[in-house]
Amino acid sequence: REDNQKECQLYIKDENFRNMGCIFQNVSIGTEKAYFLVNGSSKDSLIQFYDEYIDLYKIEKLMPPSNITVNCDEIKNDCVIQWQRPQISHSNKDKCFKYEINIKYKVRKFS
């Protein structure tokens, strides 16, 4: 929307100090699509603009789970593994996560 426009605050530059990307910080991710418009300029030629509507929640990079604890009981021969799910910026928080646990046994070496 025009009332909520932001210009790039932190450009990514190449070795010749040309703007090659942009970092936006503190972006809130809602259910609406975000509209991105990238303009270029050149003294020598016309540069075609690029624009796209993007569902930001679909491309959000999530952090791994935190506060992972493992408690095993050798008598019952079981383990309880618990973790806190990562923070996400959009709605439908309970529908997003599926975890796969891969347990590998470390062989003990006796001296």
Separation CA 31–CA 92 (nearest Å): 10
Query: Is 19 part of a structural domain of the chain?
Result: yes
Residue 91 pLDDT class (50, 70, 90 cuts): low
Query: Is 78 part of a structural domain of the chain?
Result: no
How confident is the model at residue 51, as a pLDDT?
A: 94
Work out how many domains the chain is built from and give that number: 1
Structural domain span for residue 51: 10-58
Evaluate if pTM is beyond 0.75.
no
Query: Is 53 part of a structural domain of the chain?
Result: yes
Amino acid at 102: N
Query: Is 24 part of a structural domain of the chain?
Result: yes
Tens of pLDDT, residues 2-20 = 567 788 889 999 999 988 9
For the CA atoms of 64, 66, 72, 78, the dihedral, rounded to the nearest 10 degrees, stands at -50
